[in-house]
Structure 1
């Protein structure tokens, strides 16, 4: 019975605008979080239908101790779920009205000319219908490869349409079709509402059901194989597993999260994905010491901190869109934490690239945070102009704001998202020195010195015609040729090598 009571309490808190569904469910600390979350979500989905049934049967008038939210939860499980699981007085009360409740549901279907329970939802406003997104599937290269996954889907009757050339190709998928994404490698795209949760590739960890926008941070950070990387706010772990796939399970991946339950969930997900290069840390990233020798090789950090989640597109968000998620007080608190986390990430002495991302559409959590970070660390870091062909850019609230990426349902066919990439300014110089050093095979300290030394080396390598003639045994009678011979003999004596005799004409 506690499951129904907790679900009813969460519904009441949602009505009072005390938080979002996820926050309220996870803060309840129920023993079965998944079951509670599913029950709350499904009850919200059928909320108007349930209210009509309860009202038409006069259930609350006859059972005065029963409140609307508790009644909704109980009636949902009776009519739409797997049946009431609880005992006690509430089950007795609901079962007393079972026949009337079922009759009311049947009459509703007849009036609306539908045969399935799901079709009752079609009578509600379709504000969300145009927000339907494709199903994105990331191939987990730690377990398999693209060819094997595509062959498996072909055997299941799916038709492969090749690689997308534009976003329009993703809009027109239907039936059992799939296509390769045009931006993110190892990402397949299926028609909306394609359900792959029971597919063996998903249960075996060969594919990850992950929105395209959520794949961007790890893809854009792009750490080389064998790197040491920090995932600062890692749970639930999809981005962590993506980083591990990019690293090919080599190097080191430090994954932080403050919530122990989320760390346990993440551990299960990473195990299924075949990740072995990670080290989980149930601690606050802000309390880590950037100068700790443990992190002396960390050059890449992915920071995806807690945010309002205002960019996540789902019908549930439409039903539970509470102003608490976007109130100025909450945004101020979130952006304050995000500023601290980003500033802390940029303080690691060896870090070269830092990705900052959120699933928020609010400027306070996105451009404003990046702008303030550049004010504080702009002497050391710059923004990288990400994917110039990407259609949705960051807001130009500061000079390089358009270097950032934004994502949205309408423009990019993804959840709302924001990504910025910071790169240490000295990295560009280091890349130049490295290429120059490889060309001249000498140790260099700066691009200017590189150029000077390269010129000297080229000058040294220029052939002297007199010496060349001497070595070839030509015109040895000339004074210059004799001088050349003497110099060669002296040089070879110093090296204690046999003297080369030049035949005189």
Structure 2
């Protein structure tokens, strides 16, 4: 029932204008944020249909204590989702009205002369073909198990293992209870897109992580050696942090930061379930972390995955407005500050910058700007040559970056750049470029109030 209550709360927050979908989901405190995000997104997509069903079946008139937002979530899952899985009185209530709701749904289809649920939606609400073809990716958590054991477990549950994929077409053709080993990442299993594993024992015990393939790229490409000291600058909800811990084999040290207390709580829950040790999780704005603090003197690898527009997420609400030019400029300014700050750590050798955005302003433009600020201190690394989708050719070397998209890589939209310290011409933190010094220490998130300083105030420049 916690899932439905959390979804109803997010819907209510959206109606009151308390924030965007992504921020409300991450601030909800619910442990499984992607599951919650997907449920709310789908409920919103079907909202006009659900309102007509509730009205036609007179559900809210019959059940006056049932909040409208909770009614929408329950009826969505009952008629369009996986079926109501909660217990208690709400489950009994919605099932008591099941016959009336199904009859009203049938009448609606007859009136509109359609046969599929999807046909009830307006064209702009329908799921795009690229969204429906993104498979369910499952990262094996090697802190607790191994790929072979997970494969054997699923086989015992009636799934058919088809071996290692050799093409994206094989992933696209998956159906039923069949799965593959990914063709690019060695610890990633691939299931049909509609596979729901949130109640699977392997997931609830932390033996597998439900994580999109593109989201696995940052830690995979950072590739710190066991025993390394690593920073995850913007850690919530924790999937990439747990991936880093698995790569490190729980040896070494991870410093993970997030400014929001609810997101930190969510991250802590995920890391505990995944068996992560050797990670110091702090509720702190990464921009306030002092690179010269002796505790970070051995940090050689940093993962920077800052707040972004989220334009690459295939679970975005249909019809959601694209970010304005002003919003993109504010996000890009924040992203540049975080990336520049990360590059100022004195022992840094390798850094990954990533976003789940499709916009050049948040991706290639940010990387180009920061590299120009740092002169010859850092360079872009050409990595993962077998990856089919590269950065936009907007500056020399941009093809070293990686991009991902539903159409080209069967993943969420993503961007990844790998930067390494140049042995010659590296700038020490004490001799940072002027532009970098100016950017370091400015505000925490785009659009937030400025932080107060002892001598003067500084504002986030949007």
TM-score range, shorter chain: 0.7 to 0.9
1:193-272 paired onto structure 2 within 5 Å? 193-272=194-273
Counterpart CA distance in 1 for 2:72 and 2:166 is 48
RMSD: 3.5
Counterpart CA distance in 2 for 1:197 and 1:58 is 32
Report the 3-state secondary structure (helix = DSSP H, G, I; strand = E; otherwise coil) of the residue aligned with 2:220.
Answer: helix
Counterpart CA distance in 2 for 1:31 and 1:333 is 28
Larger helix proportion of the pair: 1
Task: Report if aligned partners of 2:242, 2:271 keep a CA contact under 8 Å in 1.
Answer: yes
Q: TM-score, normalised by structure 1?
A: 0.71
Counterpart CA distance in 2 for 1:84 and 1:328 is 47
Post-superposition offset of 1:428? 12
Task: Report if aligned partners of 1:158, 1:177 keep a CA contact under 8 Å in 2.
Answer: yes
1:34-433 paired onto structure 2 within 5 Å? 40-41=40-41, 43-53=43-53, 74=71, 77=74, 80=78, 104-108=104-108, 120-124=117-121, 125=123, 126-132=126-132, 133-314=134-315, 317-323=316-322, 326-426=323-423
Post-superposition offset of 1:8? 5.8
Report the 3-state secondary structure (helix = DSSP H, G, I; strand = E; otherwise coil) of the residue aligned with 1:319.
Answer: coil
Q: 1:156 to 1:44 in 2, by over 3 A?
A: same
Q: TM-score, normalised by structure 2?
A: 0.77
Task: Report if aligned partners of 1:392, 1:405 keep a CA contact under 8 Å in 2.
Answer: yes
| Count of residue pairs the alignment pairs up | 403
Report the 3-state secondary structure (helix = DSSP H, G, I; strand = E; otherwise coil) of the residue aligned with 2:280.
Answer: strand
Task: Report if aligned partners of 2:140, 2:147 keep a CA contact under 8 Å in 1.
Answer: yes
Q: Which 4+ residue blocks in structure 1 deviate beyond 6 angstroms?
A: 2-5, 29-39, 57-60, 81-86, 97-102, 112-115
Q: 1:403 to 1:75 in 2, by over 3 A?
A: closer
Task: Report if aligned partners of 1:257, 1:283 keep a CA contact under 8 Å in 2.
Answer: yes
- What is the aligned partner in structure 1 of residue 15 from structure 2? 12
Query: How big is each residue's C-alpha offset from its partner over 1:321-361, in whole Å with a ceiling of 9 and x where there is no partner?
Result: 123xx111211111111000000011111100010000000
Post-superposition offset of 1:174? 1.8
Counterpart CA distance in 1 for 2:311 and 2:295 is 36
Q: 1:84 to 1:150 in 2, by over 3 A?
A: closer
Report the 3-state secondary structure (helix = DSSP H, G, I; strand = E; otherwise coil) of the residue aligned with 2:423.
Answer: helix
Post-superposition offset of 1:77? 4.3
Task: Report if aligned partners of 1:361, 1:418 keep a CA contact under 8 Å in 2.
Answer: yes
Q: 1:311 to 1:427 in 2, by over 3 A?
A: farther
Counterpart CA distance in 2 for 1:32 and 1:174 is 28
Q: 1:49 to 1:238 in 2, by over 3 A?
A: same
Post-superposition offset of 1:84? 11
Post-superposition offset of 1:39? 7.3
Counterpart CA distance in 2 for 1:391 and 1:110 is 45
Post-superposition offset of 1:146? 1.1
For structure 1, the 5+ residue unaligned runs are: 430-505
Q: Higher RCO, 1 or 2 (CA under 8 Å, sep at least 6)?
A: 2
Report the 3-state secondary structure (helix = DSSP H, G, I; strand = E; otherwise coil) of the residue aligned with 2:230.
Answer: strand
Task: Report if aligned partners of 2:143, 2:249 keep a CA contact under 8 Å in 1.
Answer: yes
Report the 3-state secondary structure (helix = DSSP H, G, I; strand = E; otherwise coil) of the residue aligned with 1:189.
Answer: strand
Counterpart CA distance in 2 for 1:31 and 1:396 is 40
Q: 1:99 to 1:402 in 2, by over 3 A?
A: closer
Task: Report if aligned partners of 2:353, 2:416 keep a CA contact under 8 Å in 1.
Answer: yes
Counterpart CA distance in 2 for 1:342 and 1:407 is 21
Counterpart CA distance in 1 for 2:347 and 2:332 is 25
